[in-house]
Amino acid sequence: MDTKIDDTIVAISTPIGESAIGIVRMSGGSSLKIADRIFKGKDGILPSKFKSHTIRYGWIRNKAKPIDEVLLTLMRAPKTYTREDIVEISSHGGAVSLRKILELVINCGARLAEPGEFTKRAFLNGRIDLAKAEAVLDIIRAKTDTALKLGVEQLSGGLSNKIKSIRKELIDILAHIEADIDFCEEDIETNSRKILVNKINNVSKQLEVIILDSQKSNFFREGIKVTICGRPNVGKSSLLNAILRKERAIVTPIAGTTRDIIEEFINLGGVGIRLVDTAGVVKPKDLIEHHAVRLAKNSIALSDIVLLVFDSSQKLTQRDFHLIKELKGKDVIAVLNKIDLPQRIQIGKIRKEFKKIVSVSSLKQKNIDKLEKAIAGFVYKGKVISSEGLITTNARQIGEIKQARDLLDKAKNSFIKELSLEFVALDLKLALDCLGRITGEAVDSAILDKIFSEFCIGK
């Protein structure tokens, strides 16, 4: 892979809108030359004469015409994010000012950066591997403190170091097998076969641990889907508003007010919760109700936890019993709403069906904290997960790890069946390629383009 990149790229690295500061970032061989043309400092010294990693006050000018008062930060290669010369212009955060500076830099010879191109260059120039590059995106997208922590741990090498260690073990195994193929005139000894099978099995188990970790860490990174369901007019939307502490859903005494899916993200004890309010599950009377019920059932099916809401001021109905039956096998918290009213619900029947029951008043904001604790206690099959020691992976990485595990299992079976060692060696090489695509040691340009296209421009 060619790691030499000659052109200079530029982008606005802060969100567009009104703010105190906005940043225009350049990276590449012409960054200092362009800075010399457009920056006028108080002391008159050109940016190309600045010491590395220093900040200077001055003005960005288009010829003699000032555009904005700025601070210019200069960082010389190779001790930069991209291992190229980098210039960052911190201007006032207005959209017009930033756009004019960006246009000026482009007119001076830079080109607009593609999404994620700064991080892509950091990878191509060897400053970070591919797993660490993807961790940057996790940090940007983190919605909770725990998700941020996991992203930072991956950026510091959590996944990369583990994958590199596993690849080293596989290379040692492969070297042993290829030596037997090249130099051994007789079949490999039974005892040696057992030792190599055990080594392959050990590597496979390490991959299984990473797969399990990924399932746990996804709760922190992507959030747990919690769907609120129940028959019409039991207070589902009121419950959503109560948990959010704001009026997100329309609430009226009219049954069936909610017709669409409403989704919000909240943070409960470091775990991201995707809270979904659905339409009341009824026998559809028209096309709109049919669509609303279908959406509700789809959301329920894809949920990690379901909050089944009952109106505790009324007796259970046939629709309530139907929902109880439909939710068999799901992780369900029974929410008895409207406890501020006289109680008529058959509590014994509820206790018979559900282990987790929380009584609340959405209207009076009573016991909402208890419900939140019940949700947190249900995380990952009833156990609150610790994020300590987790190795995080995204969908692409876990796909490669699963494929590598399957290839190792295939190699192990070939050993057990005493097939030709060439078959074993081929599967081990393919498994190595899978793991190499995680860290970027074996990856093509199409995969790189797909990964970095998910980044924002300017990062």
With a cut of 80, say whether residue 184 has pLDDT above it: no
pLDDT in the model for residue 284: 46
pLDDT in the model for residue 4: 46
Mean pLDDT of 174-183: 80
Mean pLDDT of 156-163: 88
Residue 438, helix vs strand vs coil = helix
Point out the least confidently predicted range of 130-139, 202-211, 331-340.
Answer: 130-139
Do 394 and 138 touch, CB atoms closer than 8 A? yes
With a cut of 70, say whether residue 169 has pLDDT above it: yes
Beta bridge partners of 273: 224, 266
Question: Where is 221: in which H helix or E strand?
Answer: helix 190-221
Mean pLDDT of 364-376: 89
109: confidence class by pLDDT, cuts 50, 70, 90: very high
Predicted TM-score of the model (pTM): 0.70
Among the listed residues 83, 222, 88, 90, the one whose alpha carbon sits nearest the alpha carbon of residue 144 = 222
292: confidence class by pLDDT, cuts 50, 70, 90: low
Point out the least confidently predicted range of 197-201, 206-210, 216-220, 359-363.
Answer: 216-220
CB atoms within 10 A of CB 221: 25
> Higher model confidence: residue 380 or residue 159?
159
Mean pLDDT of 215-244: 82
Q: What is the pLDDT of residues 66-89, one digit of tens each?
A: 999 999 999 999 999 999 999 999
With a cut of 70, say whether residue 26 has pLDDT above it: yes
245: confidence class by pLDDT, cuts 50, 70, 90: confident
288: confidence class by pLDDT, cuts 50, 70, 90: very low
Adjacency order of strands within the sheet including 271-277:
262-268, 271-277, 224-229, 305-311, 332-337, 357-359
Do 61 and 114 touch, CB atoms closer than 8 A? no
pLDDT in the model for residue 249: 46
pLDDT in the model for residue 373: 86
Mean pLDDT of 413-438: 89
- Percentage, residues of the chain above pLDDT 70: 85
Q: What is the DSSP string of 111-159?
A: EEPPTTHHHHHHHHTTSS-HHHHHHHHHHHH--SHHHHHHHHHHHTTHH
With a cut of 60, say whether residue 283 has pLDDT above it: no
What structural domains and CATH numbers belong to the chain? Answer: 9-129 (3.30.1360.120), 138-219+394-440 (1.20.120.430), 224-382 (3.40.50.300)
Point out the least confidently predicted range of 222-226, 305-309, 315-319.
Answer: 222-226
Q: What is the pLDDT of residues 98-108, one digit of tens each?
A: 999 999 999 99
Residue 246, helix vs strand vs coil = coil
CB-based burial label for 87 (10 Å; 0-12, 13-18, 19+): buried
Strands 39-41 and 21-27: unpaired
Do 288 and 295 touch, CB atoms closer than 8 A? no
Point out the least confidently predicted range of 113-127, 134-148, 393-407, 419-433.
Answer: 134-148
Point out the least confidently predicted range of 115-129, 153-167, 190-204, 393-407.
Answer: 190-204
Give me the residue label for tokens 């049954």.
255
Dihedral pair phi/psi, residue 409, rounded to 5°: -60, -40
With a cut of 60, say whether residue 251 has pLDDT above it: no
